[in-house]
Amino acid sequence: MSSVVTNERANDRPVTPEVVREHGLNEQEYDLILDIMGRAPNLLELGIFSVMWSEHCSYKSSKKWLKTLPTKGPQVIKGPGENAGVIDIGEGLAAIFKMESHNHPSFIEPYQGAATGVGGILRDVFTMGARPVANLNALRFGSPDHPKTRHLVAGVVAGVGGYGNCVGVPTVGGEVNFDASYNGNILVNAMTVGIAPADRIFYSAAAGVGKPVVYVGSKTGRDGIHGATMASAEFDDASDEKRPTVQVGDPFTEKLLIEACLELMATDAIVAIQDMGAAGLTSSSFEMASKGGSGVELELDKVPCREDGMTPYEMMLSESQERMLIVLQPGKEDLARGIFEKWDLDFAVIGHLTDSGRMVLKMHGTVVGDLPIDPLAEASPEYDRPWQPTPPQDDVDPAGFTPSVTPAAALKRLMASPDLCSKRWVWEQYDHMVMGDTVARPGGDAAVVRIHGSNRGLAMSSDCTPRYCKADPERGGAQAVAESWRNITAVGAKPLAITDNMNFGNPERPEIMGQFVGCIAGMKAACEALDYPVVSGNVSLYNETNGQAILPTPVIGGVGLIDDLDHIVGAALPGANQTLVLIGETRGHLGASIYLRDVEGALKGAPPPVDLAAERRNGDFVRAQIQSGSVTACHDLADGGLAVAVAEMALAGNCGADISAGADAPGNPPLPAWLFGEDQARYLVTTVDSGALLAAAEKAGVPAQAIGQTGDQGADARLILATGEAISLADLRAAHEGWLPGYMDR
Amino acid sequence: MKAAVIVFPGSNCDRDVQVALRQSMGREPLMVWHKDSDFDPVDLIVLPGGFSYGDYLRCGAMAANSPVMKEVVARAHKGVAVLGICNGFQMLTETGLVPGVLMRNADLRFVCRDVTIKVESSQSLFTAKYEQGKAIRIPVAHHDGNYFADDDTLATMEDRGQIAFRYCDPDGSVTPGSNPNGSQRNIAGVYNETKTVLGLMPHPERLADPKLGGTDGRALFDGLVEALS
């Protein structure tokens, strides 16, 4: 072993306790480093430990709990641990997908933060051999009244669009919510779904002494150094000073990289491939060597650099975008070089695999860093952080309650509220049709993307109800998974698997860790009951500013399969004289509801219980009815309950409805609990033959009741929620569509 | 009809237009890589949507100066039909094959949605299968589709019938509210003087399949096949 490393450029600062602290490492962690190295690390080596052991890269606080999630199933080809999860979608194809956060950078520099978030998740997916076919995102902003919110919304939406639109992958779905808890920490979670031949999936494990390590893509610059460490710390008032750690995206290069990599993947030249994401060259080379049980030697002076005079420290820690690391079969260098030159991308052999189990970094022939791979990559700290359960809250009595406004007034207020208003202003800035396979566009329960050249499709959505997770993390975690499963079901698809993006505050606080533990427990139960395993995911902790944490936000990205695109439905009411049938039991659960929060101004109580057996039974029933053609439209019930669901269906179809029969029926809860309660496991469907549908439901043991009729389509269409009050759809539409553009133009 | 689609490195609607052409032609169009200026003779050249060379400069400006575009311009001058969609339209204005320029959308935001456009005339290779004056539903997806030409140029173009499509309401009325990007006179697409070159911002290839929610774009490709076969 080359032992002591003495390149001045790598060691231009001595490693003092202060330098160790600046790298986000505590004393115990530094002692472990000394143990592993058998000597003091130089600055370059310390920097490598720091990023590899950052919360962002090592999952040190969350690992213990993530391991408890179900990750297996007959549909799973590859669960968590690779760049993205892989599931079998039949006919020799696999869907590859993952969601990832870019929260901290997006708060500091919203356009580039969001854009590079999209770029990063795209790379995670095409790295594995998939052509990306759809992007989704889950965005959470602070209160609309907060002075920064408008600027952040504008920047993030433009950044998401600016990247995805240029790369040419449609952005087909997502969610946008507002809450004061995100004032200092917005959430930008981006998801990509790709499709690959099931027998040509590419993994990151690299083995084979002497095989060339190749760098392709953009040149390395000084941007994003220590981004992973930044993303593992809380913010304070000086966070603007962190702007230089945010990377700059180049979607055109990403597009070239996708095409070049897919072209190379069609040959047999690749041993392993890995994108350079968080912690750049460090993490990509470590992971490849570690998973393959090999060593690696890199000659850093061969790394294509944007600027002269970059140090090994900067090269190893840069998070410049649009770069990939590939281990090639020997002798395939010219073939690969030809492809990358065709696409005008940099291509450089920067090293080779060894059998030493070490990473040796050289600059101009001198060793500047030498670290053992396995101890560093796998023996990273793992914490069992103390946690404290969230105290349970009481249920809200549906009858013990006098509403402050009429149901019609409440509905109008909700439909024009920041959380429930139309997000058209957002998704019209995203190209959601490019690639020519978008069958169900944004705005419905789940987006549907056709599998190119077939009559099959993938359904996808992203979901979370953070106020439930705050009030009762376990119920909230289960509800997020159940709602994802419902949304996929509501278009007629079979839910297959999820990716999760766990966004929480500081895990060193027991109450925050308790939220994390609770959400995981709920997710686990729901994933098991619904056969809906986790195949990939990402954790974003330390979403706090000056000690103020975000709402616990475990976002679930779900993917489902449609075997026949001729048997799907949307949410739009299909025209007059059909019967509206409510599937599932309604007790009028108002605790933690959006009605209490936004209409009565008093958010309180326990969130709705999630009966997973009922979810399963009701959902399987609805899906079968959609597939058999006996249902003409379907919408899941979520925020705002029945009233909001029927209003969204009416607006989508420009079609009236009268559900006063349901309100008048004895046995249903009183208004407003009937209309605005958020009981789970429910769907609203339309049918031309309610007798047959109700009989089928009874036979399946699924609660179902006819609650009203659809009305006429057109300019005069009206919605009647309860006897005596008609709402003009045109007025409702103006309120629903008006809020967000009005807010952004103010 | 033989057709070629020019594929720039940042083209991203090349496959979409390939699918639409295949559907109407019953065979494959030629996909021409931007580095191959020397491609077979064809009856129709399509410049697809996307971001040609990244479009970090003015959209289509670099593409207009690429070697393959010199060939496209030369063939257009010989009378070969050229269809430029979105980014392709931007290349056409940049090369001067059609008049005018495409500026950033008036509200400065990217816009992706279905719009209705009025077919100004059915007297062209591209619109023969449409009813004159009819409003058709076609999606737009662009950041820079705000058509501008000076008043004299516009007057001349109007006289010569060079306005191909205008943004309109579903009933065909050309109104300010139906204009998604601030284009002068609601212009969505224009011809060259001989009407053998068409540039348009909307994407007819995106609504040429009932599964995608509409088929109003299909007649453009069907009409070309009929006219050029």
Rounded CA-CA distance B44/B111 in Å is 28
Quick: pLDDT tens for A81-100: 899 999 999 999 999 999 99
Percent of chain A with pLDDT over 90: 85
Distance of CA A415 to CAs A173, A231, A409, A638, B204, Å?
A: 19, 35, 10, 13, 34
**pLDDT tens digits for A218-258?**
999 987 776 656 555 666 666 656 556 678 899 999 999 99
Interface of A with B in 143-182 (CB under 8 A): 158, 161-162, 165-168
The string of pLDDT tens digits covering residues B161-215 is: 999 999 999 999 999 999 999 999 999 999 999 999 999 999 999 999 999 999 9
Q: Which residues pair with A221 in a beta bridge?
A: none
Q: With bands split at pLDDT 50, 70 and 90, how would you rate the model's confidence at A337?
A: very high
- Tokens standing for A578? 């059909």
The DSSP output letter for B26 is S
Q: Measured between alpha carbons, how far is A442 from A278 in angstroms, rounded to an integer?
A: 30
A382-428 per-position pLDDT tens digit: 899 999 999 999 999 988 878 999 999 999 999 999 999 999 999 99
**A478-529: per-residue pLDDT in tens?**
999 999 999 999 999 999 999 999 999 999 999 999 999 999 999 999 999 9
Given a cut of 50, is residue A2 above it in pLDDT? no
- Strands A633-636 and A683-687, by their bridges, are antiparallel
State the pTM of this model.
0.96
Q: What is the CB neighbour count within 10 angstroms for residue A357?
A: 15
In degrees and rounded to multiples of 5, residue A169 shows phi and psi of: -115, 125
Compute the C-alpha angle A445/A446/A447, nearest 5°. 130
Question: Given an 8 Å threshold on Cβ–Cβ distance, is B141 in contact with A434?
Answer: yes
Q: How many CB atoms lie within 10 A of CB A364?
A: 10
Q: What length does chain B have? A: 229
* Distance separating alpha carbons of residues A316 and A533, to the nearest angstrom: 35
Spatial separation of the C-alpha atoms in residues B160 and A11, rounded to whole Å:
73
pLDDT at residue A375, rounded to an integer = 84
Interface of B with A (CB under 8 A): 9-10, 12-13, 15-16, 19-20, 35, 49-51, 53-56, 109-113, 139, 141, 143, 203, 205-206, 209, 211-213
Which amino acids of B are annotated catalytic?
Answer: 86, 203, 205
Helix (H, G, I), strand (E, B) or coil at A213: strand
* Other C-beta atoms lying within 10 Å of the C-beta of residue B196: 20
Distance in angstroms (rounded) separating the CA atoms of residues A450 and A562: 9
Tell me which H or E stretch contains B102.
strand B101-103
User: A433: nearest CA in chain B?
Assistant: B206
**CB-based contacts of A710: which residues, under 8 Å, 6+ apart?**
A573, A574, A575, A576, A577, A578, A579, A580, A655, A656, A657, A686
Which H or E element spans position A125?
A: helix A110-126
Whole-angstrom distance, CA of residue B7 vs CA of residue B34:
6
Q: Distance between CA atoms of A208 and A289, rounded to whole angstroms? A: 10
Q: Note whether A439 contacts B212, CB cutoff 8 Å.
A: yes
Rounded Cα distance, B206 and A435, in Å: 9
Nearest to A439 among B10, B49, B211 (CB): B211
Taking alpha carbons only, the member of A463, A682, A675, A707 closest to residue A578 is A707
ipTM exceeding the 0.85 mark: yes
The predicted structure's pLDDT at residue A1? 33
Helix (H, G, I), strand (E, B) or coil at B158: helix
pLDDT digits (tens, 9 = 90+) for A607-619: 999 999 999 999 9
Cα nearest neighbour of A565 on chain B = B211
Helices B87-95 and B67-77, packing angle to 10 deg: 70
